[in-house]
Each structure stands twice: as structure tokens, then as C-alpha cells.
């Protein structure tokens, strides 16, 4: 089981003294991307265009393609992880590995006692994704969140969890926002 102190530490790392006001206009990106700004925008633009074209040609099939691509990636990366049964520990390891690209934490609403929630015959864990390269790409291109590009992330997490724990899983969107997204990792 994941220890309480690890969870406290993880939550602490997402707590700041920053005051965020609606009217704030950002003056700098952190860390400064000036060195790689053009390349980064080019890559994001290209990814956005590929996804848009894929949607135009394959329709709803686009989700299946991107999900599968993400899943392959997840299996590939997690092949080198130590195999373990505990999903929470697997998530811990995965969040360390993905920090910066897809920074996430396990999360629960205040009325729930545990991070592993059993509700309506489902066993699941809420994940809050903070930093996400998919969200950045979509917002850079004015595309909606929740579409095929998000499916790559879904596939990635599911593939990695399956590889590490040997358990089948599914990731569902609960909410997408400009600063964080809430997902549900459903365990089978």
C-alpha cells in the first residue's frame, strides 16, 4: 500500500502560496521557453493538425487509433518497471516517471475516506492531471479538450498500469479544465 506520508508529501508538492486572479495576464512561462519556443510551437501545431486530419478522415475511429498508440507507448515504457500488484504503488512510480509531461496526483473528494473508491459496483481512483502536454497542445491550437489527442494519454496510463500490475483498467474523463483535469481510473 502507498504510505500516508507519501500521499501527504505528494499533496504538499502541489500546494503553493500563489494567488491566482482571473484578471492576471501571464508575463512569463515557467520555465522560460525562449530557447525552444519556435520548435515547441511547431511541434504542437503539427500534432494538432495531424489529430484534426485524423478526425476528418477516420471520424470516431480516430479515438481508437490514438488510444492504441498511447497504450503501446504505456506498455513500452512500463516494461522496465518492477512488476507489482499494488495499483497505488504503480501510480506512484508512474507519476514520478511522467513528472513534467503529465504531472498527476491521486485525489479524493472530502467525503471519501480512501483513494480507492467503491461506488455503484465500480472500483476506481480519481487522478488530477496538472501539467499535461496534450492540454497545452490543444489550447495552443484552439481545439477542444477530451477528443482523440486526450485518448493518447488515456491509453498511456492504462497501458502502463496493465504492464506493471497485470490488471485491466480504463480511464474516463470526469472534467477538463484550463489548469487541471479530473480523470477516473477504473480498475477491473
Residues that bind another protein (CB under 8 A): 14-23, 25-30, 33, 37, 40-41, 44, 100, 103, 107, 109-110, 128, 130-132, 135-137, 139-140, 174-182
Question: Whole-number minimum distance, CB 137 to another protein, in Å?
Answer: 7
109 vs 121 by CB, closer to another protein:
109
84 vs 140 by CB, closer to another protein:
140
Mind giving me the DSSP string for 104-132? EEEE--TT-SSSEEEETTEEEEEEEEEEE
Question: Whole-number minimum distance, CB 119 to another protein, in Å?
Answer: 15
Question: Whole-number minimum distance, CB 185 to another protein, in Å?
Answer: 15
Buried b (16+ CB within 10 A) or exposed e, 160-187: bbbbbbeeebebeeeebeeebbbbbbeb
29: three-class secondary structure by DSSP = coil
Question: Whole-number minimum distance, CB 183 to another protein, in Å?
Answer: 11
Question: Whole-number minimum distance, CB 30 to another protein, in Å?
Answer: 7
75 vs 145 by CB, closer to another protein:
145
CA dist., res. 70 & res. 149, Å (int): 9
91 vs 181 by CB, closer to another protein:
181
CA dist., res. 121 & res. 124, Å (int): 10
68 vs 140 by CB, closer to another protein:
140
User: Cβ contacts of residue 80 below 8 Å, gap of 6+?
Assistant: none
Amino acid at each position: 500500500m502507498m504510505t500516508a506520508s507519501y500521499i501527504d508529501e505528494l499533496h504538499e508538492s502541489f500546494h503553493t502560496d500563489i494567488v491566482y486572479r482571473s484578471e492576471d495576464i501571464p508575463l512569463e512561462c515557467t520555465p522560460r521557453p525562449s530557447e525552444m519556443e519556435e520548435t515547441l510551437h511547431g511541434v504542437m501545431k503539427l500534432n494538432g493538425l495531424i489529430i484534426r486530419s485524423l478526425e476528418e478522415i477516420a471520424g470516431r475511429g480516430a479515438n481508437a487509433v490514438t488510444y492504441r498508440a498511447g497504450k503501446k507507448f504505456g506498455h513500452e515504457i512500463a516494461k522496465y518497471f518492477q512488476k507489482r500488484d499494488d495499483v497505488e504503488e504503480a501510480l506512484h512510480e508512474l507519476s514520478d516517471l511522467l513528472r513534467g509531461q503529465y504531472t498527476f496526483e491521486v485525489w479524493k473528494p472530502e467525503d471519501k475516506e480512501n483513494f480507492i473508491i467503491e461506488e455503484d459496483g465500480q472500483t476506481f481512483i480519481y487522478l488530477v492531471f496538472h501539467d499535461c502536454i496534450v492540454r497545452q497542445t490543444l489550447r495552443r491550437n484552439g481545439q477542444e479538450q477530451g477528443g482523440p489527442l486526450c485518448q493518447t494519454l488515456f491509453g498511456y496510463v492504462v497501458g502502463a498500469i496493465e504492464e506493471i500490475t497485470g490488471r485491466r483498467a480504463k480511464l474516463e474523463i470526469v472534467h477538463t479544465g484550463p489548469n487541471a483535469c479530473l480523470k477516473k481510473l477504473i480498475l477491473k
